[in-house]
Structure 1
Amino acid sequence: MTLESLCADAWPALVDKPLGAWRLRANGGYTGRANSALTLGDPGVPVPSALAAVEAFAEAEGIRPCAHVIIGSAVESAISAAGWRVNLDHPKGAESAVLVSTSPALGAAAEVADEPSDGWFELVVGSPTPAQRHLLTSGPRVGYAHAVRDGRVVGAARGCVVGSVLHVSVVEVAADFRRQGIARTLLAALDEWSRPSARVLQVAVHNEPALGLYAALGYRESHRYRYWVPA
């Protein structure tokens, strides 16, 4: 299993259809990963035909056509040749890094539960839509870390275990409680809960504070991906 396949399994969209080795995903517009075609390997048809299928799928699901593409891959060259462009307008940035670590996150741990605690959703997404609730609560084995100060949830994180690997998909700290070590506490909690062989997460390359935190915790870049859309 590739890292990208593992990440997709840990962040499962409402709709996930195969197109050869590609995966056509839709989740009501919530997150780029869950509303893009994961373009790994051979789609079973020429790339221009595969991209036409991505567009038809997106139209049927009511989302924007989008391809999730590993930077520097042969598929990326083919998608570029077919006339698509990098989506520089993506709200969280067109390019993300996939980071991996085999080092435990040490430190005081927060609580981890099998279901989101009161206040967890509110901090992460506010009042969740059905699509948001599905994405955040689905996966092989999901755990929800939370940190509480004075009765208020001020930190929230989501981890999903696929095989023996921990995928970290949410780390959120209330604005007035940042730079107090809460993110480290949440990550240590997920580590203690899952006892993984390795950890993986995806983060936008412009998110320098997060990249600094993860580097300090032993994460190293595996590769990058970016989103492509029809020109």
Structure 2
Amino acid sequence: MQVTPSRGDRVVVRFRKGPGAPADWRGDPSATLSDVTGILDSESPDLVILRDDERVVVPAALVEAVKVLSDKPVRNSQIRSLEVAAARGWPGIESEMIDGWRARAGGGFTRRANSAVPLEMGARLDSQTMDRLRKWYGARDLPVKIAAVTRLLPGAHVSPADYEINVDVLVAPVGAAASDMSAEVTIDETPSDTWVAAYAGQRSGADDADHAVGAAVVAAVDGGKLGFATVRDADGALVSIGRGAVTTGLGNDVWLGLSALWTAPDRRGEGLGRVVTSALERWGADLGAAQTYLQVETGNTHAREWYRRMGFGLHHSYGYVEYH
């Protein structure tokens, strides 16, 4: 799936050379294509890229491809460490390490809680590993679903063309979403029934979901702390929620994971989502978290732009692949 970039994203733009095109930095007269890397400043209709002190305009008619890059170079070890923290923050109801993969099962509730993610160096998706994953998931009446994390798997093992969903992992320093809006946010260690109902109600196919299974999935954590944020109106009705998970990565780096951010449709645009995010960041900071992460589907441009405005940038990506 092609990522739709947002203003402020670090991108590389591939373009055709010709009248109106930027200068070709390689200086190769035989080349028909060139590229420019920088911060996207505008995309209506031509692309404006900020590169150091230079403003580069790429005519829309010449653009061949746009790729969103991480905000700054990220090492494989950093990707792996964050994925370890994220798996601890959303482990499903049960999990097991299988050939370097963390297989998670959660009664079919959410992709994350019912997928395997490669966490150990050398994790592969060869026939032996696939057989073991099929056996594990088959025993739980679930299909094999994997989270193919960028750069943590051999490229020949999983094709991006097979991804059913692409996901961006966005990060920001704790406190980036600071809000001065006056709204009371309560943070509890366990989710209330109304909290779970609000989260389950926004999910596709939630009518068929077992409420108890959903409650067990969101309340699960591996060696960390959970916080369930709630905002209610003057009548006590729930109007906004969010979930925070403070867990550690490989080097004992402490991460705050945000998920289940939701605001009632008739209260959107009031800043409640930012208030909940800010409250969870303060809660996470008190527990030692220095960085915040969250996952958002690549095609959800509205959400990506909202997070970008709060200071979140791309760390890495992954795609879900299901095997029947």
TM-score range, shorter chain: 0.7 to 0.9
Q: TM-score, normalised by structure 2?
A: 0.63
Q: Verify: 1:157 aligned to 2:230, yes or no.
A: no
Q: Verify: 1:14 aligned to 2:93, yes or no.
A: yes
**RMSD over aligned Cα, in angstroms?**
2.2
Note the residue ranges of structure 2 that are not aligned, 5 or more in a row. 1-79, 202-208, 249-253
Query: Which residue is equivalent to 1:91?
Result: none
CA 1:134–1:2: 2 relative to 1, 3 Å: same
Query: Which residue is equivalent to 2:231?
Result: 147
Aligned residues: 222
Aligned partner (choices 178, 188, 202) of residue 106 of structure 1: 178
Residue 205 of structure 1 deviates from its aligned partner by: 0.9
Distance 2:116 2:225 in 1: 24
Deviation per CA, 1:179-207: give whole Å up to 9, x if none.
11110010011011121201011110111
Aligned partner (choices 278, 298, 301) of residue 188 of structure 1: 278
Deviation per CA, 1:20-67: give whole Å up to 9, x if none.
321111110011111111123324x77121112222222111111111
Preserved contact between residue 103 and residue 217 of structure 1 (Cα < 8 Å):
no
Q: TM-score, normalised by structure 1?
A: 0.87
- Amino acid corresponding to residue 183 of structure 1 in structure 2: G
Query: Which residue is equivalent to 1:179?
Result: 269
Q: Secondary structure at the match of 2:110?
A: coil
Q: Secondary structure at the match of 2:156?
A: helix
Query: Which residue is equivalent to 1:132?
Result: 214
Preserved contact between residue 22 and residue 42 of structure 1 (Cα < 8 Å):
no
Residue 122 of structure 1 deviates from its aligned partner by: 2.1
Residue 76 of structure 1 deviates from its aligned partner by: 4.2
Deviation per CA, 1:92-114: give whole Å up to 9, x if none.
xx100001111512113622222
CA 1:74–1:194: 2 relative to 1, 3 Å: closer
Structure of greater relative contact order (alpha carbons < 8 Å, 6+ residues apart): 1
Deviation per CA, 1:158-186: give whole Å up to 9, x if none.
00111431111210111111111110010
Preserved contact between residue 99 and residue 202 of structure 1 (Cα < 8 Å):
yes
Note the residue ranges of structure 1 that are not aligned, 5 or more in a row. 89-93
Preserved contact between residue 93 and residue 106 of structure 2 (Cα < 8 Å):
yes
Distance 2:90 2:152 in 1: 22
Q: Secondary structure at the match of 2:108?
A: coil
Larger relative helix fraction: 1
Q: Secondary structure at the match of 1:215?
A: helix
> Bigger radius of gyration, 1 or 2?
2
Q: Verify: 1:75 aligned to 2:165, yes or no.
A: no
Q: Secondary structure at the match of 1:123?
A: helix
Q: Verify: 1:208 aligned to 2:301, yes or no.
A: yes
Distance 1:145 1:114 in 2: 9
Distance 1:186 1:31 in 2: 22
Query: Which residue is equivalent to 1:50?
Result: 129
CA 1:46–1:143: 2 relative to 1, 3 Å: closer
Preserved contact between residue 231 and residue 239 of structure 2 (Cα < 8 Å):
yes
Residue 130 of structure 1 deviates from its aligned partner by: 2.8
